[in-house]
Amino acid sequence: MAIGSARAALGRVFFERCFYLFAALLVFVAFAPLVEDTYPGRVVLNTIGLLIVVSAVATVGPSRVSFVISLLLAVPTLVFQWLALTSGQSNMLLWSWAFGAGLYAATLIYLVGYVFRRDVMTGDKLWGAAAAYLMIGVLWAYLYGIIEYYYPGSFTSGGEIARFTLSELIYFSFSVLSSSGFGDMAPNSNQARSLCVVEQVVGALFVAILIARLSGVYPPREREPQ
């Protein structure tokens, strides 16, 4: 009963679920590189991250099962995020990234199924497609952070091994996803290189399949008789 009431309340607030998720992700991606790695900066990023988590739960929550799954991933994400912020322990940050990556992956799976469902293409679906693309980039940033934790020195800057913050990994992730490859950051370990290849393939396939889906929405115009 409580779960149903919470799901209905979120549905009323986030009545355009995919738009709010897209907006929160866009703010996160745009402002993350501008935030310094200080305590106030981490508070700002965590606040935006909280909005993304709430929007993701609202987006995935039309059904009871998906809502419960998203809650089971969202609550530990927020708890470990708060513990990492207050204690500064790297293992707390790791757990926050791990549960956050799980929540992002679950939301991404839902969005892909929702966008490519065989019915009428709506504005909400277009926002969902845009949110899914941004979510790929942020999800891989978390995965890069996990790789860096277990395999230190997985990334280099200017040819030298360095440790990067989440905001820097978000910048790197989107340079990989968009295939811009500015060269200021590069993968150094086999695990990081493998993740980069998978991200590039997933991003290219997503755009190609989305274009094909949008092309199939509108039937070809019939030629007028001469």
Q: How far is CA 75 from CA 103, 137, 176, 177, 199, in A?
A: 10, 22, 30, 28, 27
How far apart are alpha carbons 223 and 8 in whole angstroms? 48
The CA-to-CA distance between both ends of the chain, in Å, stands at 64
Q: How far is CA 39 from CA 24, 42, 45, 87, 99, in A?
A: 21, 5, 10, 11, 22
Of the candidates 124, 95, 118, the residue with the CA atom closest to the CA atom of residue 21: 124
- Residue 187 gets which letter from DSSP? E
Q: What is the pLDDT of residues 142-178, one digit of tens each?
A: 999 999 999 988 998 877 877 788 888 999 999 999 8
Q: What token pair was written down for 202? A: 């997933």
pLDDT of residue 6: 52
Q: What token pair was written down for 138? A: 């942020």
pLDDT of residue 14: 46
Question: Residue 155: what are its φ and ψ, rounded to 5°?
Answer: -135, 150
Give one word for 20, left, alpha or beta, with left for phi > 0 and alpha for psi -120 to 50: alpha
How far apart are alpha carbons 109 and 18 in whole angstroms? 14
pLDDT of residue 123: 78
Q: What token pair was written down for 106? A: 């679950």
Q: Count of CB atoms within 10 A of residue 135's CB? A: 24
pLDDT of residue 220: 55
How far apart are alpha carbons 78 and 96 in whole angstroms? 7
Q: What token pair was written down for 164? A: 């990067």
pLDDT lower than 70: segments of the chain: 1-16, 61-63, 120, 217-226
**C-beta separation of 69 from 108 below 8 A:** no
Q: How far is CA 118 from CA 60, 105, 216, 221, in A?
A: 18, 22, 10, 20
Q: How far is CA 184 from the centre of its chain?
A: 23
